[in-house]
A = this chain, B = another copy of it.
């Protein structure tokens, strides 16, 4: 496992924040699928820092260079490999992290796990920058899902105490998400931006929540038990740094519901079996039921803050004050929105490729 995901597709993510490059390989993809690199670039731009004037000022050029697997605008059946070059060279800024680990970061756990041999510059392999190659893979899967009539969209559901509207769980309007700032209700989006600005000015950061919705899925996708859609999405979504919570459909609210409320009654609409409510989030027994697949993700406030904190010197084993310098992203939630879409797309596309029920008629 580690930085490898997938049952039928095999995604491998590599790179450290300040190494020569980060990248990904994606194996197991059928040949002949169209790839639109311009569209991919636009998707990656949504994750890029600095575009909302509210995130980290470090400028990145996250254009991937494809090394293999794509020929004349289509997959050629060979593994797809792409790299994104790092332009921020290693510097002395991070020298002390192995001695005085930053609270909330992976500095300490990496130090213990890798016995001090880890690359700690810029967070190394634990950097949020590693979500860029995840978005490369996910951006491709999004295109292939779209070819099958499947759409994935996410928005900020909450920042601090400010909540956005939710998608209608039965008839969601994925187009309602703003292009500039990914919320459904622009007024609440403005409040969120204010909150983020305030956190920045204090040298603090703030967390939030993301809601993701997938439409156009056929019924019958996924497997029982550990191959269920929740397990598949759970494994990849929890691979995104800073995610600390995930629920599906009515999610945490089910804990306070009666069965008679939570059960989604069946009916028929336009000749198709549908449910009149969607507390299940489109999944029953791990398998899609043809309704929108909906899940929410809790994202912790980025641990990178410039306020004074307390850590321990691993040399002296004494508590010691710590002030992290540099300018940091006060809220990663807006940039995490396309990352969540990417993760969902990879998990779902892998489930499609892994579905044995498609084989019986296909041979």
Contact = CB atoms under 8 A, between A and B. Distances in A.
A57 interface: no
15 contacts: A2-B225, A19-B67, A19-B68, A30-B360, A104-B259, A104-B263, A108-B219, A158-B255, A160-B257, A226-B238, A234-B237, A251-B298, A252-B298, A263-B305, A352-B359
A208 B252 CA distance: 9
Contacts of A259: 104, 199, 204-207, 301-305, 307
Interface in A152-169: 158-161
A249 B254 contact: no
Contacts of A125: 68, 76-79, 224
B12 A12 contact: yes
A278 to B, nearest CB: 12
Given A2-B27, A32-B360, 6 more contacts: A23-B68, A76-B117, A113-B219, A207-B255, A230-B244, A254-B301
A318 to B, nearest CB: 7
A56 interface: no
A89 to B, nearest CB: 14
Interface string A263-294: 11111100101011001110111111110000
A238 B287 CA distance: 12
A237 to B, nearest CB: 8
Interface stretch (A40-48, A170-178, A179-187, A308-316): A308-316
A126 B78 CA distance: 9
A33 interface: yes
- A interface, how many residues as a size bin? 35 or more
Given A117-B31, A245-B246, A358-B363, A207 B301 contact: no
A294 to B, nearest CB: 11
Given A248-B244, A254-B300, A318-B268, A224 B126 contact: yes
Question: Which of A15, A103, A305, A309 lies at the interface centre, i.e. has the most chain B CB atoms within 10 A of its CB?
Answer: A103
A1 B354 contact: yes
Contact of A103 (B108, B209, B266): B266
A266 to B, nearest CB: 4
Interface in A313-330: 314, 317-319
Contact of A114 (B31, B255, B280, B363): B31
B109 A289 contact: yes
A14 B357 contact: no
Question: Which of A67, A199, A248, A361 lies at the interface centre, i.e. has the most chain B CB atoms within 10 A of its CB?
Answer: A67
Contacts of A223: 1-3
A80 B273 CA distance: 30
Contacts of A237: 234
Given A252-B298, A266-B312, A358 B356 contact: no
Interface in A89-110: 101, 103-106, 108-110
